[in-house]
């Protein structure tokens, strides 16, 4: 016997909130609200499932059996309503609304007042005794149908409405009388072929909502919010109730709490004599919900009671839509309210105090990745501004300042006491001084995992990258955005949380760690089992990390200490000496570098007293410490033209650059390979670490727990050889492994993960560098694929999003899991961590918790987010339903 075909249409009375995946968020919630409040408060209707949408899109608009199921559901609705769709004397009118599994506000389409035609509009006018209401409803329907179903640009309708108001000398839509509205319908009908058959109207409206799932704005929204394209949207067909029936009618949106602050008072907007689209479209200025108490006190009291019931039932702050028809309240939908971070933490804390939720449930209501807004300056939400360009939201926060095009200019502007925005096509290691000095970073290339993004997040600087509309011409010293031409010194502002660029002077709002936020973090720490450390390379960053609750430093990139403008000459001197085998010069340079590194390490160790600090030995290829070839060429040309005394030194640098050049430096002479071929460099760093330990141990009651990390290990013998060097130097400095320090490796190559059982024989800990592990596993060059490949792959449903944003669980994640399991087979007490950017991504943190990793490490400003996400991962492991 063949299996029966799945049901594609459900009456509201059949559904429940547990059917969200099938009925979509709106359909499931309307069904649940019908069960809770009763049919007297919730207009009847039915939901066409998201599965029907998927079939429709897969089969070019043909879904077997759908038309019959819709017809049967419509007949049941007509029986409940006592009216018939298309009845010339007493027509049933319905709305057709989208309803995806996850709310996508404004991204999908809606049609209201469906069922009217040239005949039934007269019947509606006669039955209600309200000719204006009937023609206003018909005008709205013909306008919305034309825009949504027939793709007629909305401005054509708005221009006609504006002309009608001007001809009658009125300013509001509500001032147009029935005769004017009748004329507008005729004008609208002239724009397209309007169908008079209500059944045809319904079918075409349903198809239009299905089609809107693949509209450009919906596709982009799903990409930004990581919503799978495969879900589809449900469609809700609901009996119309009318807020535009006169002065005792209206429509509105109501939140169970303040939607901005989370304060426990309902908030929202409403409009008398209006339909819901008027409230959200901005055509008319709505009134504050509090005024409803004066206009219609009995409805206001009833609405407040319903909001309390809904919030207690759902266990979350609610966002509702309502209509008042001639003094009677109807609830059209409810959903968990999207809210800014400050409202989310306020609600979580208040809900626990009120007994509405447990601590675990309250933390589960928070979107961890939105907490960024509580940690950085933001644009004043009340300030209007024009967006001149958009890019990737690469590092959160907002900043404004004058444009500078080089790191040196940023340092100069900062020294003069002014704010700078460093604008570059892309950034490189030698621009780090500019990151320190600049208030924000803006690049025309790159994505969230580009050098600019990584360094900016690590330093807590706002950054917008990948601004395709912007051209940065360093030769001409100008920045072009379309027809706009900007030059150094011009003011610009960026919002790194939203990827926005503006030339307007937008006020900034400073962040504050509220008591509610601190309470949520304390609860999170009690619940989580995953440790949270920070990536920090300076004493200042280490102190910031500790203030944000970091339990140690999971990655201290020792090479970043060389990028200070005063130290660049030191490291360049060493690199040139190494390339020329100049022993005397090499020794002198190593002595100077050890001195500055030891002081830096001591500052970090002191800031993290009593906590672990993982120091990665030198990782990048040596040529990164030399000037770029084109810049060096310009310096040489100048030195030769003036016969500068610097010419011999510049020629030596040029020779070093030639000798160190590589075709693919990312996979070349870097990491442990540097330590093996140039052991003097690693020896200098190890001695600087031991010297710093001795320095701070003499001053601190609690010395730091120092962890030395060897990067880019692929072979067991590489680590063994480095351990011999470390042990020899430890003995000379009277340091004991296991007591004064530990040694581990950075797992960032697939081979290391595959032989983790052998590497674990020699390592005290593993730290998975998921940035490079992603590159080497997928064969992706991070800086190249973020803009050139990832968007196309997402559009073709090959991947859901960038593997540099969230961990590729099936590939890279499996290697992490394998590395942990194999390593602990050899060494059960092996400590494991994550030090790539994935360590601050809530979705990835959930995976790392399941994979058995001991800690994650992320940029200091991501630490609070990681703490909450780690708690949510622990909650999900114990009770997956809590986070569903």
Catalytic residues: 451, 835
Is the C-alpha dihedral spanning 542, 548, 549, 550 positive or negative? Answer: negative
SS3 73: helix
| Residue from 418, 382, 398 nearest 502 by CA | 398
SS3 716: helix
Please state, in angstroms and rounded to a whole number, the distance separating the CA atoms of residues 430 and 421. 17
326 alpha carbon, distance to own chain's centre: 43
Is the C-alpha dihedral spanning 99, 104, 108, 113 positive or negative? Answer: positive
> If DSSP states are collapsed to H, E and C, what string results for 777-791?
HHCCCHHHHHHHCHH
Q: Report, in angstroms and rounded to the nearest whole number, the Rg of the chain calculated over CA atoms.
A: 32
632 in Cβ contact with 657 (< 8 Å)? yes
Is the C-alpha dihedral spanning 847, 853, 859, 861 positive or negative? Answer: positive
Please state, in angstroms and rounded to a whole number, the distance separating the CA atoms of residues 836 and 490. 36
26 in Cβ contact with 98 (< 8 Å)? yes
* Beta pairing class for 741-747 and 705-710: parallel
Tokens representing 296 are 């219609």
102 in Cβ contact with 225 (< 8 Å)? yes
Please state, in angstroms and rounded to a whole number, the distance separating the CA atoms of residues 496 and 492. 13
Tokens representing 235 are 């469609």
Q: What is the DSSP letter of 563?
A: G
Please state, in angstroms and rounded to a whole number, the distance separating the CA atoms of residues 766 and 829. 11
Residue 740 CB: number of other CB atoms within 10 A?
17
Cβ within 8 Å of residue 585, ≥6 positions away? 573, 576, 577
Q: What angle do CA 34, 37, 43 make, to 5 degrees?
A: 50
β-bridge mates for residue 100, sequence order = 233
**What crossing angle do the helices spanning 178-189 and 154-168 adopt, rounded to 10°?**
150
| Residue from 824, 797, 826, 831 nearest 219 by CA | 797
Kindly provide the residue ranges of all beta strands, DSSP E only, lying in 9-108, ordered along the sequence.
9-11, 45-48, 84-85, 91-92, 94-100
Please state, in angstroms and rounded to a whole number, the distance separating the CA atoms of residues 288 and 303. 14
C-beta contacts of 117-125 below 8 A and 24+ residues apart: 117/86, 117/196, 117/197, 117/198, 118/196, 119/88, 119/196, 120/86, 120/87, 120/88, 120/91, 120/198, 122/88, 123/87, 123/88, 123/89, 123/90, 123/91, 124/90, 124/91, 124/93, 125/178
| Burial class of 416 by CB neighbour count within 10 A (0 to 12, 13 to 18, 19+) | exposed
The CA-atom distances, in angstroms, between 847 and each of 439, 457, 817 are 34, 22, 10
φ and ψ of 733, to 5 deg: -100, 10
Please state, in angstroms and rounded to a whole number, the distance separating the CA atoms of residues 374 and 346. 12
269 in Cβ contact with 287 (< 8 Å)? yes
* Beta pairing class for 831-834 and 855-858: parallel
């Amino acid at each position: 016997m063949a299996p029966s075909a799945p049901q594609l249409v459900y009456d509201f009375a059949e559904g429940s909130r547990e059917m969200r995946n099938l009925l979509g968020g709106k359909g499931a919630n309307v069904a649940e609200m019908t069960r809770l409040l009763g049919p007297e408060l919730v207009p009847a209707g039915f939901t066409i499932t998201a599965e029907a949408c998927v079939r429709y899109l897969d089969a070019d608009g043909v879904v077997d059996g759908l038309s019959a199921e819709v017809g049967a559901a419509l007949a049941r609705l007509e029986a409940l309503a006592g009216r018939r769709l298309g009845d010339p004397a007493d027509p049933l009118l319905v709305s057709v609304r989208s309803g995806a599994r996850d709310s996508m506000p404004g991204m999908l389409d809606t049609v209201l007042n469906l069922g009217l035609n040239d005949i039934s509009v007269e019947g509606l006018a006669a039955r209600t005794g309200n000719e204006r209401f009937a023609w206003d409803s018909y005008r709205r329907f013909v306008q919305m149908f034309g825009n949504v179903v027939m793709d007629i640009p909305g401005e054509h309708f708005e221009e006609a409405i504006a002309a009608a108001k001007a001809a009658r000398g009125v300013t509001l839509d509500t001032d147009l009388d029935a005769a004017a509205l009748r004329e507008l319908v005729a004008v609208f009908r002239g724009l397209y072929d309007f169908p008079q058959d209500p059944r045809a109207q319904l079918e075409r409206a349903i198809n239009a909502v299905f089609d809107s799932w693949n509209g450009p704005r919906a596709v982009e929204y799903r990409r930004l919010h990581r919503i799978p394209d495969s879900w589809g949207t449900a469609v809700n067909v609901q009996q119309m109730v009318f807020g535009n029936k006169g002065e005792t009618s209206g429509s509105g949106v109501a939140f169970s709490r303040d939607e901005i602050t989370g304060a426990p008072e309902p908030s929202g907007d409403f409009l008398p004599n209006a339909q819901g689209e008027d409230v959200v479209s901005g055509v008319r200025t709505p009134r504050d919900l509090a005024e409803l108490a004066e206009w219609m006190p009995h409805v206001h009291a009833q609405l407040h009671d319903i909001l309390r019931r809904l919030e207690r039932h759902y266990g979350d702050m609610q966002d509702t839509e309502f209509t008042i028809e001639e003094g009677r309240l109807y609830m059209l939908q409810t959903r968990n309210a999207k809210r800014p971070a400050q409202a989310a933490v306020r609600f979580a804390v208040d809900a626990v105090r009120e007994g509405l939720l447990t601590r675990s449930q309250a933390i589960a209501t928070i979107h961890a990745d939105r907490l960024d807004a509580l940690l950085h300056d933001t644009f004043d939400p009340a300030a209007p501004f024009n967006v001149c360009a958009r890019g990737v939201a690469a590092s959160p926060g907002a900043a404004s300042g004058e444009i500078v095009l080089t790191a040196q200019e940023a340092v100069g502007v900062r020294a003069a006491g002014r704010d700078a925005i460093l604008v570059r096509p892309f950034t490189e290691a030698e621009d780090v001084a500019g990151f320190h000095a600049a208030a924000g970073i803006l690049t025309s290339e790159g994505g969230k995992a580009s050098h600019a993004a990584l360094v900016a997040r690590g330093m807590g600087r706002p950054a917008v990258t990948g601004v395709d509309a912007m051209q940065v011409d360093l030769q001409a010293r100008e920045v072009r955005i379309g027809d706009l031409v900007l030059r150094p010194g011009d003011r610009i502002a960026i919002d790194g949380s939203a990827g926005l660029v503006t030339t307007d002077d937008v006020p900034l709002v400073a962040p504050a760690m509220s008591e509610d936020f601190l309470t949520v973090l304390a609860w999170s720490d009690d619940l989580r089992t995953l440790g949270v450390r920070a990536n920090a390379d300076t004493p200042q960053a280490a102190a910031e990390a500790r203030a944000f609750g970091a339990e140690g430093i999971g990655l201290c990139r020792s090479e970043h200490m060389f990028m200070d403008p005063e130290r660049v000459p030191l490291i360049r001197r060493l690199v040139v000496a190494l390339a020329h085998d100049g022993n005397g010069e090499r020794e002198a340079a190593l002595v100077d570098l050890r001195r500055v590194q030891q002081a830096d390490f001591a500052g970090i160790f002191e800031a993290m007293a009593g906590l672990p600090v993982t120091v990665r030995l030198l990782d990048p290829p040596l040529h990164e410490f030399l000037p770029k070839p084109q810049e060096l060429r310009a310096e040489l040309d100048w030195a030769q033209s003036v016969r500068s005394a610097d010419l011999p030194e510049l020629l030596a640098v040029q020779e070093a650059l030639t000798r160190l050049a590589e075709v693919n430096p990312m996979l070349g002479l870097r990491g442990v390979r540097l330590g093996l071929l140039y052991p003097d460099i690693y020896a200098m760093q190890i001695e600087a670490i031991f010297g710093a330990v001795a320095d701070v141990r003499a001053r601190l009651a609690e010395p730091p727990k120092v962890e030395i990390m060897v990067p880019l290990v692929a072979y067991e013998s590489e680590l063994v050889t480095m351990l011999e060097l470390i042990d020899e130097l430890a003995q000379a400095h009277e340091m004991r492994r296991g007591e004064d320090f530990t040694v581990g490796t950075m797992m960032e190559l697939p081979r290391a993960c595959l032989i983790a059982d052998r590497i674990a024989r020699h390592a005290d800990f593993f730290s998975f560098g998921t940035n490079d592990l992603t590159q080497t596993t997928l064969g992706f060059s991070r800086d190249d694929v973020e803009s050139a490949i990832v968007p196309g792959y997402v559009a073709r449903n090959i991947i859901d999003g960038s593997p540099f944003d969230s961990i590729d669980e099936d590939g890279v994640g499996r290697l992490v899991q394998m590395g942990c399991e194999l390593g602990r087979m050899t060494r059960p007490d092996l400590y494991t961590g994550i030090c790539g950017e994935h360590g601050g991504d809530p979705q990835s943190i959930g995976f790392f918790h399941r994979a058995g990793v001991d800690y994650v490490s992320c940029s200091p400003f991501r630490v609070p987010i990681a703490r909450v996400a780690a708690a949510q991962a622990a909650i999900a492991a114990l009770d997956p339903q809590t986070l569903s």
